Amino acid sequence: MKEQPTGQSTLFTLTGRPPFGAALSMALQHLMAMIVGCVTPAIIIANAAGLSVDDQVRLIQASLLVSALATLCQIFMLGKWFGSGLPVMLGISFAYVPTMQAIVGAGGGIGAIVGATMVGGVVAMVVGFFSQRIRKHFPPVITGTVVFTIGLSLYPTAINYMAGGTSNSYALVVETEGLTSALVYGSWQNWLVAVLTLVFVMVLSNKGTGVWKLASILLGMAGGYMVALCFGMVDFSGIASATWISVPQPLYFGVSFELAPVITMSLLFAINSIQAIGDFTATTVGGLGREPSDRELQGGIVTYGFTNILGALFCGLPTATYSQNVGIVSTNKVVNRCVFLLAGLFLLLAGISPKFSAVLTTIPQCVLGGGTITVFATIAMTGMKLIASQGLSPRNTTIVGLSAALGVGISQSADALSQFPDTITMIFGNSPVVLATILAIALNLILPKEDA
């Protein structure tokens, strides 16, 4: 048996055994870049669904576990279809948050999200099997419109959280000359903490270097957390009752297959499967200096679908490839699988520790809002970059502008579809992403192509 190469240089090859210290530092770098984005969607959906603290812990724990499984399954190739063999990190995706908020808002609950995710995973696997044929029908103008609309649709969530969140569970009591004032939604204390968190993140991301810049969101939220702690906004009561080690219970929140959630989530899974091709391509081009092979793309997308089906059994939310980690690979060229194996194992360890998840539930919602609004802005701008890569011609601006206008406009007009059946309202009226996607695809087919 051929001995694996060792040494510092193996960090820049897919195989080999790099020094443990170097691999560990690189793994922690990837972990810090994605951990906030990995848990925040679970916290947002848990609050939207009105879950108890114990159930919030379960949902966060399940999301971490699913992210670990999705990452570990992608790192190695198994057989003809399973695994991409590429250095990628996967985590819970913000792309599904608006739709999941609409599902729980309509009374579907976490069980409806679980059922829709299972079906969506099957759709993703089908897309993976036919990825080479389907890809040409989703040019950057369509995927860019989808990503841009996702970013726009998340802005109200960030602002809502900066103001204190819809389910503000804490109260700050200030005694001044016998008068008592409570911290409520929209209070100056919430906004002060949110804005300070945002300032911390912006200073670190623009002026920081090395790990300070890389983990700017994580460190900025840590600063905001300390300010919130001084205001008495942090409640530690749920940590004591959480156990150290526990495996998430399968189908704890139940499962249901409702038509409207299934349709909307399936469409999003199809779009995100195509979007994943972009991340896989950026990883190989930036880190390996080549285009991905057909086997790598197909295996990556098929595994993406399969791990979402598996993750839904443990009540985890939908995952996606993480572009910020792709950016790290493109920057430092570290592609060794051992690095990503370590990062995945750290995620797995966090996923089986309810105590760690309980600590995350103590983060005040104003801190989450201040930290994530930059993430949502980046998502929107990523969409614009995709659109611009194909050129801002009159045809493309019509596709993007009209799709985003109708998608976002209808979803923000509560009674716009009030006279339509509930299923139609659920599919097209609550999440701007679905309508914008369908319109972008239709307009791309209908509008005449422009001369080169």
**Predicted pLDDT at 121:** 93
**pLDDT surpassing 50 at residue 238:** yes
Mean pLDDT of all residues in 168-196: 60
What confidence category does residue 181 fall into, taking pLDDT thresholds of 50, 70 and 90? very low
**pLDDT surpassing 90 at residue 278:** no
CB 27 within 8 A of CB 343: yes
Q: Which two tokens stand for residue 165?
A: 């969140």
**Predicted pLDDT at 176:** 39
What confidence category does residue 170 fall into, taking pLDDT thresholds of 50, 70 and 90? very low
**pLDDT surpassing 50 at residue 171:** no
Q: Which of 146-150, 227-231, 351-355 tops mean pLDDT?
A: 227-231
What confidence category does residue 82 fall into, taking pLDDT thresholds of 50, 70 and 90? confident
Strand 179-182 to 319-321 pairing: unpaired
In a domain, 183, yes or no: yes
Q: Which of 92-106, 186-200, 215-229 tops mean pLDDT?
A: 186-200
**Predicted pLDDT at 303:** 92
**Predicted pLDDT at 7:** 64
pLDDT, greater one: 116 or 81: 116
- Distance between CA atoms of 113 and 262, rounded to whole angstroms? 8
**pLDDT surpassing 90 at residue 308:** yes
**Predicted pLDDT at 177:** 39
In a domain, 86, yes or no: yes
**Predicted pLDDT at 452:** 54
10 Å CB burial of residue 294 (0-12, 13-18, 19+) is exposed
**pLDDT surpassing 70 at residue 227:** yes
**Predicted pLDDT at 214:** 62
In a domain, 195, yes or no: yes
DSSP H or E segment with residue 174: strand 173-176
% pLDDT > 70, the chain: 87
Q: Which of 248, 272, 341 is nearest to 93 (CA)?
A: 272
Mean pLDDT of all residues in 221-240: 81
In a domain, 6, yes or no: no
**Predicted pLDDT at 215:** 66
Mean pLDDT of all residues in 208-223: 74
Q: Which of 301, 310, 294, 254 is nearest to 275 (CA)?
A: 301
Mean pLDDT of all residues in 70-93: 85
| 50-59, 95-104, 156-165, 209-218: the lowest-pLDDT one | 209-218
Mean pLDDT of all residues in 336-343: 88
What confidence category does residue 6 fall into, taking pLDDT thresholds of 50, 70 and 90? low
End-to-end CA distance of the chain: 55
In a domain, 7, yes or no: no
**pLDDT surpassing 50 at residue 179:** no
Strand 173-176 to 90-92 pairing: unpaired
In a domain, 285, yes or no: yes
pTM over 0.85: no
Task: Specify the number of domains making up the chain.
Answer: 1
% pLDDT > 90, the chain: 9
**pLDDT surpassing 50 at residue 174:** no
In a domain, 2, yes or no: no
Cα three-residue angle 16-20-22, rounded to 5 degrees: 90
pLDDT, greater one: 53 or 74: 74
In a domain, 187, yes or no: yes
| 26-40, 178-192, 348-362, 436-450: the lowest-pLDDT one | 178-192
CB atoms under 10 Å from CB of 220, counted, come to: 26
Q: Across all residues in the chain, what is the average pLDDT?
A: 79
| Coil vs helix vs strand at 319 | strand
**Predicted pLDDT at 167:** 47
**Predicted pLDDT at 129:** 85
pLDDT, greater one: 402 or 106: 402
Query: DSSP of 263-285, one letter per residue?
Result: HHHHHHHHHHHHHHHHHHHHHHH
- 195-205 pLDDT, tens digit each: 999 998 888 87
Domain that holds residue 426: 13-446
Four-point Cα dihedral 383, 384, 388, 394, nearest 10: 110
**Predicted pLDDT at 166:** 57
